[in-house]
Amino acid sequence: MAKLFRAFFFKSLFFFWYHFLFRQLRNLILFQRTISNSFSSKTQFRYQKFSSLLHRSDLNDHTLIFDVENALLKSSSLFPYFMLVAFEAGGLLRAIVLVLLYPFVCVAGDEMGLKMMVMTCFFGIKAKSFRVGRSVLPKFFLEDVGSEMFEVLNKGGKKVGVSNLPHVMVDSFLREYLEIDFVVGRELKMFCGYYIGLMDEDKTMHALEQVKEGKGCSDMIGITRFHKIRHHQVFSLCKEVYVVSEGDKRSWQKLGREKYPKALIFHDGRLALRPTPMESIAMLMWLPWGLILAIIRISLALSLPFNISTPLLVLSGIRLTTSIPVPACTLTRNDKTGHLYVCNHRTLLDPLYLSFTLQKNLTAVTYSLSRMSEILAPIKTVRLTRNREEDAAMMKQLLSEGDLVVCPEGTTCREPYLLRFSPLFSEMCDEISPVAVNSHVSMFHGTTAGGLKCLDPVFFLMNPSPVYTVHLLHHVSRDHHNIENSRFQMANSVQTQIGNALGFECTKLTRKDKYLILAGNEGIVSNRIRSAKCS
């Protein structure tokens, strides 16, 4: 009986895989024939290698139509972008479901696998509040753009990006950061303002028709991969089609930050790593241990004095690098007042790390801080009211009681840029100490614009080995001959000094600009990033 069962099992398994592979091979052959017939019936053109496109000098007279996933991005995997949507917009449970479904996505084929990921990531998400496509995904897309392909696009006239991804995932990245003229993506169906996880092919076809009607077919050049032509309705209108191979993409260099048409200064989301399948599994396995480690680190910081907790925190994996110049210890100041430390803002833990560096308690003034963060803070924290007169009086009172630390940027910035410094701190005393602060994380960001701010310190401390750098700079004195202009000059001088120490660029952007871009609660900011740079 057992032999009969084993024979039946292996026979069934053999026929299953035989029919499965035969069906996939047959579909591939039919697909290639369909594409070939479609192209041959509509237009006559020849395939050419992508390398020959790099040397053309007449691209400015043509409209370039390119496949986003298969011609612009170096990586061929779409999983990381859907994982970002699942984790940032849907939460931890949805991310776990996507990881568990990924093996089935791989064997289901490109189109069915895409539909499975769209259903998993978008079902039940409110369309009006979906901001991942604008605040999270552009950073990861930009880091995956091929430099050679981008140079070709820069030479072209009008540019049309064709994507198999949902339109809400790629539109902001292509339009705002790469300045693409027209974006064709898959539209999502909605019910009562919520995505239902299905793609609306009718709306997608309407977008394709707009491309056909609005662009002349005589000067269109297509860039795609031969075996990945999904939007053949568009590419069939092209006079020439250039083919990108896997070898081409492997040889491409990543687009450098200095080549971005629009500087990436603000971005949101908790994940700092690129969530490939293996990285996602590692991150999900680390989460419970990371939470335990964060609780231990918080307990050590709250319960022990600086000289004991500092080495224990270092043993737990936290890395703190400090630099204190000798002149900083011999400041000439009035003994009746404390000393004012002014630092740039990377996370909510900036004042705490400065306290650990100086081995003394400081008072930190903040513009916004959650109640939980105030309770957990091992140093004194005071909220500012954003009323200039009240805040000035409060800071002078705090300085009369002891040393004070302030972050005049008013909000955090993850990228190597400094926001505009509020000049209020320059009115408090004659001498201040600038402090250059930087941080590095490998898994989770300790800041957020759209999430729960009370979890910011927890997420930062959940990283396996977070790094902080605290560099005390030489003190800055105020000019007493021109008090009105001196406060602005001091604010700019401190910003410049900190920027030079960190290698960061100074901007005139403010907290309001950040939330306009990431949260969208006051509209969309125009492209003023480059013009706002300090000279």
pLDDT tens-digit readout, 78-94:
999 999 999 999 999 99
Q: Say if residue 304's pLDDT is above 80.
A: yes
Tell me the percentage of the chain whose pLDDT exceeds 70: 80
pTM confidence score: 0.84
Residue-wise DSSP of 463-519: SSS-EEEEEEPPPEE--SS-HHHHHHHHHHHHHHHHHHHHTPEEB---HHHHHHHHT
Q: Furthest-apart CA pair in the chain: how many Å?
A: 103
Question: Do 253 and 422 touch, CB atoms closer than 8 A?
Answer: no
φ, ψ of residue 225 in degrees (nearest 5): -115, 140
Which among 351, 323, 266 has a CA at the least distance from the CA of 471? 323
pLDDT average, residue stretch 1-5 = 52
User: What are the start-end ranges of the H helices in 190-269?
Assistant: 201-214, 232-235, 246-251
Q: For 523, which DSSP code?
A: B
Q: Which of 92-96, 241-245, 486-490 has the lowest mean pLDDT?
A: 486-490
Q: For 370-397, what is the mean pLDDT?
A: 82
Mean pLDDT of 488-501: 90
Residue 494 has pLDDT above 70, yes or no: yes
Minimum mean pLDDT among 32-41, 197-206, 231-240, 351-360: which range? 32-41
The answer to whether the CB of 340 falls within 8 A of the CB of 429 is yes
Radius of gyration of the chain (CA): 28
Length of the chain: 535
Higher pLDDT, 187 or 25: 187
User: Residue 25 — pLDDT band, cuts 50, 70, 90?
Assistant: low
Q: Which residues contact 243 (CB under 8 A, 6 or more apart)?
A: 47, 48, 49, 50, 224, 225, 226
- Which range (29-43, 125-139, 397-411) has the least confidence? 29-43
**Average pLDDT score over the chain:** 82
Q: How far is residue 122's CA from residue 25's CA, in Å, rounded to a whole number? A: 31
**CA 293 from centroid of its chain's CA atoms:** 25
**What is the three-class DSSP state of 173?**
helix
Residue-level pLDDT at 385: 80
Report the SS3 class of residue 394: helix
The answer on pLDDT for 40 being more than 50 is no
Quick check: 46 pLDDT over 70? Answer: no
Three-state SS annotation for 82-102: HHHHHHHHHCHHHHHHHHHHH
d(CA 289, CA 300): 17
Q: Are strands 404-406 and 505-506 parallel, antiparallel or unpaired?
A: unpaired
Nearest Cα residue to 438 out of 321, 328, 341:
321
> Does residue 528 surpass a pLDDT of 60?
no
Instruction: Give the model's pLDDT for residue 53.
Output: 80
Indicate whether 450 pLDDT > 90. no
pLDDT band, residue 23 (cuts 50/70/90): low
Q: At what angle do helices 277-303 and 92-107 cross, to 10 degrees?
A: 160
Mean pLDDT of 444-457: 88
Report, as an integer, the average pLDDT of 191-220.
Answer: 73
Question: With contact defined as beta carbons under 8 Å apart, do 87 and 49 qualify?
Answer: no
**What pLDDT, on the 0 to 100 scale, is given for residue 438?**
95
Q: Per-residue pLDDT for 526 more than 70? A: no
Higher pLDDT, 196 or 329: 196
Q: At residue 96, what is the residue type?
A: I
CB 138 within 8 A of CB 242: no
State how far the Cα of 94 lies from the Cα of 188, in Å rounded to an integer.
Answer: 18
Q: Do residues 137 and 81 touch, judged by C-beta distance below 8 A? A: yes
pLDDT in tens, 169-186: 999 999 999 999 889 889
Closest of 169, 249, 115 to residue 161, by C-alpha: 169
Comparing 373 with 397, which gets the higher pLDDT?
397
